[in-house]
Chains A and B, each alone.
Chain A
Amino acid sequence: MMELRMEHITKQYKDKLAVDDVSLTVTPGVWGLLGANGAGKTTLMKMIAGIMSPTSGKIVYDGVPIAALKGSYRDIFGYLPQEFGFYPEFTVKDYLEYVAVLKGLTKTDTKKKIAELLERLSLEDVRKKRIVRLSGGMKRRVGIAQALLNEPEILILDEPTSGLDPGERVRFRNLLSEFAHDRIVVISTHIVSDVEYIAAQNAVMKNGKIIQTGTTEELVKHVAGKVWTCRVPADETGRWEKEVQVVNLRNEPDGTVALRYLADEKMTEDSKRVKPRLEDLYLWLFPQEGGVR
């Protein structure tokens, strides 16, 4: 089975250790790389993409270091960077043709593949429109299309769903699930719902290190028994936010507020223990990303 293995990867910038001794083996399926902003996800993605060299350690694809694979690695690789770029004069079709040339596709393959992707990503109507005039979601879809042009075996997507509306997110998730059947897809994100439903495996990154790996079910076990719901008067929510990590607040018609919170012990008698979700684990690991703890 195909595998991408990271062996003790470290990236040191002048005064910052962005990635700290990361070892991870990625196999076919969707992998979610979760972490707060600044956790080192993008740096790791760039190293996997081969556009940034690790300070130490190596990345091995199917038994061969990617540095030795050279062009043949890039040939099986699709990459959507966090900052999706395009030249302002490009239309959607121009852009995809340009990237197809860089990926070395023949004219026949380019034509066939572009037609297929425009249809799959619902971009046919805007193919002659300049990208600069498209909405954020459509731009993102163009970015995804360019990553898929060469039918990659490894697809690396850095924050792929930023700017997509809920409907587009669902379509995107379905597309990836379908695509990842026998391929490696790594999605780096801090949007938990992006990976919760489709990722077969997750890795959680914090301060440059991988601190947890496993399936969603395995990961959420870390917060099992720590997720509670209760109802409190609306004027008490401020106090709750100071005392516990509040995951969710919902105003109820009777004037109370339904709280979902994280705590080792329940805070009120009527608090009910609930089944944890990946989002709960995320907020447990990255409290600064959610409410006040």
Chain B
Amino acid sequence: MERDMENRIRRALAEEEGASEQMTDRMIFLSRMQWNAANLKKRIGFGELLLSQLRYIGWRMWMVELILAFVPTFLIIQYVEWHVITPVKAVCFLSCLVVGISMFWVVFIYRSGYYHMMEIEAAAFFSLKRLLLSRIIILFAGELAVIAGISALTSAHTALGFGSGMVYMLFAFGACSNGMLVLIRRAGMDRLCRYFLAYGVLLLAVLLLLAKFLPQFFDGTRQTWVAFGSFVLLGYCIYQGVLLLKQQGETVYA
């Protein structure tokens, strides 16, 4: 803010009865904040940042997701006798596949750190958190398409219905994505990779343990509850995304 303006505010308030030094300082502080906000140069919005990330990183993410999802699914459909795989195993496999694909996101964060880009990315206008959010949205979009694709593929070749496949995969997707978003919001960027890998492994272990000790969870009898859970998780996912978008002040990554 111009020093001249500051002096004018100070003089004007000095003439007012009851305006203390503290109040004057507070007024000047708020005026400075307003001045800084009003003098921002013309900048692009989050939508444009998101689209730009498609060019730089998005297509790579989608290619990796496609390969990771369809190669194992295709191989199983081609070479495994489906009567060997029970519905419980099939659903558990698809859920684990979704978590596995999400975990691949770690590679893209790690890449930022490995190539020493994180400092430049963190010190730029868009905070590092919003940059990561843009990448995570791209990953999610790809993953949702992949989930729909795999559901269609498995329903065409097996007794597993399209809806059933979708519900369970969305549940795993919701659990995984929410974990990622919580970690972006709460954990330091220098520890994000480790924490997320640990979370992903924990989630995979839980899914496998569920298949072994609580097979009812996957056999379709509780599908309505799982669908409800998926719905809640996806809703919370969107809520966390909005919170992250609002965290424009978060610069610090270490």
Show the binding face of A for B, using Cβ within 8 Å. Answer: 1, 46, 49-53, 62-64, 67-75, 77, 79, 81, 83-88, 94, 98-99, 101-106, 109, 146, 150
Given A67-B249, A74-B251, are A150 and B125 also a contact pair (CB < 8 Å)? yes
* C-alpha spacing A152/B121, complex, angstroms: 16
In the assembled complex, the Cα of A106 lies from the Cα of B52 at a distance in Å of 12
Chain B interface residue number, banded: 35 or more
| A80 closest partner in B (C-beta) | B120
The reply to whether B251 and A83 contact each other, CB–CB distance below 8 Å, is: no
Contacting A at CB under 8 A, from B218-254, are 248-249, 251-254
A71 to B251, CA, bound (A): 8
| Interface check B89, CB cutoff 8 A | no
Total inter-chain residue pairs, C-beta < 8 Å: 119
Distance A68 CA – B26 CA, assembled complex (angstroms): 14
B75 at the interface (CB under 8 A from A): no
- Would B32 and A79 count as touching, CB distance under 8 A? no
Closest A residue to B125 by beta carbon equals A104
B115 neighbours in A (Cβ, 8 Å): 85-88
A87–B131 alpha-carbon span in the complex (Å)? 16
Within 8 Å CB of A50, what residues of B? 123, 251-252
Decide yes or no: A75 and B125 within 8 Å by CB, A52-B252, A70-B249, A101-B49 being known contacts: yes
Chain B residues numbered 40-75 whose CB sits less than 8 Å from any CB in chain A: 40-44, 48-49, 52, 56
Is B13 on the interface with A (CB-CB < 8 A)?
no
A104 and B116 form a contact (CB under 8 A): no
Q: What would 24 A/B residue contacts be, using CB atoms closer than 8 Å?
A: A50-B252, A51-B119, A51-B123, A52-B252, A52-B254, A53-B252, A63-B6, A63-B29, A64-B29, A68-B33, A68-B249, A69-B33, A70-B251, A71-B125, A72-B36, A83-B119, A85-B117, A86-B115, A101-B52, A102-B124, A105-B43, A105-B44, A106-B43, A146-B120
B41 touches A74 (CB 8 A): no
Give the Cβ gap from A24 to chain B, nearest Cβ, in Å: 20
Q: Bound complex: CA of A84 vs CA of B119, how far in Å?
A: 9
Q: Is B126 an interface residue (CB 8 A)?
A: yes
Specify which of B116, B131, B251 lies most central, judged by the most chain A CB atoms within 10 Å of its CB: B251
Q: Are A51 and B252 in contact (CB under 8 A)?
A: yes
A70 to B3: give the CA distance in the assembly, Å: 22
Which residues of B lie under 8 Å from residue A150 when comparing CB positions?
Answer: 41, 125
- Please determine whether B121 and A81 come into contact, CB atoms closer than 8 angstroms: no
Binding site for A on B (CB under 8 A): 1, 3, 6, 28-29, 32-33, 36-37, 39-44, 48-49, 52, 56, 111, 115-127, 131, 248-249, 251-254
Chain B residue at minimum C-beta to C-beta distance from A77: B123
Whether B111 lies near A87 (C-beta < 8 A) is: yes
Using CB atoms, name the residue of chain A closest to B126. Answer: A102
Q: Is the CB of B42 within 8 A of A109?
A: yes
Q: A51-B123, A71-B249 are in contact. List 10 more A-B contacts (CB 8 A).
A: A51-B252, A51-B253, A63-B29, A64-B32, A72-B37, A81-B123, A83-B119, A87-B117, A102-B121, A104-B49
Task: Given the known inter-chain contacts A101-B44, A101-B52, A106-B44, please indicate yes or no for A71 contacting B127, CB distance below 8 A.
Answer: yes
| Chain A residues near B252 (CB-CB < 8 A) | 50-53
How far apart sit A88 and B39, CA to CA, in the bound complex (Å)? 36
Contact yes or no, B253 A64, CB < 8 A:
no
Q: How many angstroms from the CA of A4 to the CA of B109 in the assembled complex?
A: 32
Check B3 against A103 for contact (C-beta < 8 Å). Answer: no
A184–chain B nearest beta-carbon distance, Å = 15
Instruction: Determine which of A72, A84, A87, A146 lies in contact with B40 in the assembled complex, contact meaning CB atoms within 8 Å.
Output: A72
Complex partner residue of A99 from B6, B44, B120, CB under 8 angstroms: B120
The distance from the CB of A188 to the nearest CB of chain B, in whole angstroms, is 14
Residues of A within 8 A of B39 (CB): 72
Hey, which chain B residues are within 8 Å of A79, CB to CB?
Answer: 119-120, 123
CA distance A105 to B37 in the complex (A): 16
By a CB distance below 8 angstroms, the chain A residues around B249 are 67-68, 70-71
**A75–B41 CA distance with the chains assembled, in angstroms:** 8
Contacts of A85 in B (CB 8 A): 115-120
Q: Which of A63, A67, A71, A74 makes the CB contact (< 8 A) with B32?
A: A63
Tell me the bound Cα distance from A53 to B189 in angstroms.
13
Chain B residues with CB under 8 A of A105? 43-44
